[in-house]
Structure 1
């Protein structure tokens, strides 16, 4: 049960005030907006919990999950329990029932002492990795090697990614960047996560991993295949090559194989259809399970553990493609292509793959993008695909 923070006289606060207070007090904060929604929400956590494995969703308190690409790597799975929840619609704070009263009180005090909108430093990693951006030649060489390995039948598909590090504009503002993402990408899950010692990430991802809404409807998607948006901005004239159709088919089969492992037969499948994500189009198939009719209370956690990392961010089969990524990608993905989202909120649990994202360092932004390599891939086209994907976050930075 939540209660309004700040006692009898319930005060209104802007998102900018809440974010500034969290940064000033060095508290962990997650801010998000679900696709096709207007409400922006935030949760502040006074004691983020880090686990080495994917936590159980069903028994979890309300909060926000932020998890890495590698399930058993050096980066932890971080859960931000919602000690304080904020909605930009009501402009009010609500306190979690077991939130520490002294810290809630300090936080509301900090909120009421906003110092002329002075910006505060966002958290950067305790040990920032040096991102040596792969140049075109290196990326294409890795993609070409992947094609050879796939044609030798050692794997079916692998997703290779790269980073692009660019200086932050002088006028950059964390709060304004989040607002710009919300208006530019209404169909995406838009997020801002700032955790002391871990870092600060911004993103606008098109890909749902696992969701269970208030109506107990479980959803996941198979999303793959990429091409630039048609000039008329519609999907009517989209023409897909065999390579993209096959790539998306692999992700579909992967989702179905997870259902099969759980002996789940009662699901609906719609697609594939063409969907728009920012300046790109993808092929997408939607899967749904009605948990009111199917007795499977742990389906959310079970599917999450089977799905991640999906073939849309890792490859098929999972083990050889993951090994190829770790051996040939040339950098640590950290939380890129991991997953994130609210857990057991009033709207349910909604976890998304952390794509189309950037990590903020002190004076730079690290942008991330990947491309699915199959036996039909052209390294040149895959390089171009990563360039198109980098534009999602690049566009936001260019507006400052």
Structure 2
């Protein structure tokens, strides 16, 4: 059997169930599952990896590890590291944490020396599902049979039962932190900041099952499921931080302005009408789009930057947002990693201006964000890239499991309403958490 097998399997009516079953089987080691429009990819059993923390670059290839100090920007370090590996036309998959932004925004003083910044891996096996059927690359004949059996069995399985989490407890003092940020904004220190709160879960989570149940109840722009470097996560991303396609068109999708969704047609329409007429939400969205446009223009060829779908309303699970799309054609002397470095972190997950907003996040959010408000990343051998914003997610490591959500704070913010917004966003994940 060839290393690539392409079959049209009519029984794959639930790709999320198939991806969840492949992840839960435990047969393929570490993995990253990524859903983009029209395609689901399960990438597993790393041949190699690139890991970056504050002081060290670690590169692994076929069991051999090299470590070195690094300097410069994290984006350029990873770009160069990937270029030295014998990828043989393979894609890379992984994640970058929120703290990845600290070098570009002069915030490294806030970081612990062992803070993880990024973890990318190059898979031996890829399983892709889409209208083309099932495409399997890199698997042995025996593994190919196992993959077929797992996918077939997944289509007959029932949805898992949730163990909903209480999202209204707040030991982090979120309202008080919002009040402090409002004071800083009104004193002129910055215009906007996204402050978040962590909700610890008092049990071990079945992350693949949570992904399947959550995906059945969400309408994400992208979704992901991963187990990589001691971290498990599953999420339903509302927007792209950045994408660069094969034609070098760079895109970002700022979402800012939020109301609840999924409470019935009349309530949803009333919330939508309130959203599109609320001065606070309109201002928050407009300044986010303005920042995104400036960032795209900084890496795009002159005259190619444009905004489309300005202030459209997009439903994302338990919430609806004001949304716009900003695009430009990447300048000839710029790379995909340059575009990501410019656009990261998403303006809708950091603040405006970004430098001051990120400083406020580090000061007022307290603990490191890690993957929250970071990105799950795919990189092709040609330089095409997608970096999807990590929000609406569940996270788990050896220390426990948790959720996290934030809200955009501006001068007109009301702390109680911002807390309510975090609850609305947590509603995209919390009701679907499955206990292990």
TM-score relative to the length of structure 2: 0.72
**1: CA distance, partners of 2:141 / 2:343:** 40
Structural mapping, 1:199-210, within 5 Å = 199-210=231-242
What is aligned with 1:241? Answer: 278
Query: 1:337 is matched with which residue: 361, 370, 373?
Result: 373
Deviations 1:155-192 (A, max 9, x none): 111111011112348xx643332222332223331111
What is aligned with 2:305? Answer: 267
| Contact 2:93/2:378 (8 A) holds in 1 | yes
| Contact 1:168/1:397 (8 A) holds in 2 | no
Distance 1:51 1:185, change over 3 A: same
| RMSD, aligned α-carbons | 3.6
Distance 1:109 1:261, change over 3 A: closer
**2: CA distance, partners of 1:241 / 1:142:** 23
SS in 1 for 2:296: helix
**2: CA distance, partners of 1:239 / 1:187:** 21
| Contact 1:275/1:282 (8 A) holds in 2 | yes
**2: CA distance, partners of 1:298 / 1:3:** 34
Tell whether 2:344 aligns with 1:308. Answer: yes
TM-score relative to the length of structure 1: 0.78
**1: CA distance, partners of 2:359 / 2:23:** 39
Distance 1:240 1:341, change over 3 A: farther
**1: CA distance, partners of 2:52 / 2:435:** 37
Gaps of 5+ in 2: 6-11, 54-73, 103-110, 154-167
| Contact 1:33/1:182 (8 A) holds in 2 | no
- Measured after TM superposition, the shift of residue 327 of structure 1 is 1.9
**2: CA distance, partners of 1:142 / 1:251:** 22
- Measured after TM superposition, the shift of residue 336 of structure 1 is 0.6
What is aligned with 2:56? Answer: none
Structural mapping, 1:127-276, within 5 Å = 135=170, 138-168=173-203, 173-197=206-230, 199-214=231-246, 216-229=248-261, 231-232=264-265, 233=268, 237=273, 238-262=275-299, 264-270=302-308, 271-276=310-315
In the alignment of these two chains, the number of paired residues is 360
What is aligned with 2:108? Answer: none
What is aligned with 2:79? Answer: 56
| Contact 2:20/2:212 (8 A) holds in 1 | no
**2: CA distance, partners of 1:224 / 1:243:** 11
Distance 1:16 1:353, change over 3 A: closer
| Contact 1:156/1:374 (8 A) holds in 2 | yes
Distance 1:318 1:48, change over 3 A: same
Distance 1:137 1:363, change over 3 A: closer
For structure 1, which segment, 86-95 or 352-361, has the greater mean C-alpha deviation from structure 2 after superposition? 86-95
Query: 1:287 is matched with which residue: 326, 338, 353?
Result: 326
Deviations 1:111-140 (A, max 9, x none): 58x99x9xxxxxxxxxxxxxxx98278111
SS in 2 for 1:355: coil
What is aligned with 1:88? Answer: 129
Deviations 1:337-393 (A, max 9, x none): 011132228995221111111102469530010111111111111111111111111
Distance 1:257 1:149, change over 3 A: same
| Contact 1:278/1:392 (8 A) holds in 2 | yes
| Contact 2:276/2:322 (8 A) holds in 1 | no
Q: Which has the higher helix share?
A: 2
SS in 1 for 2:391: coil
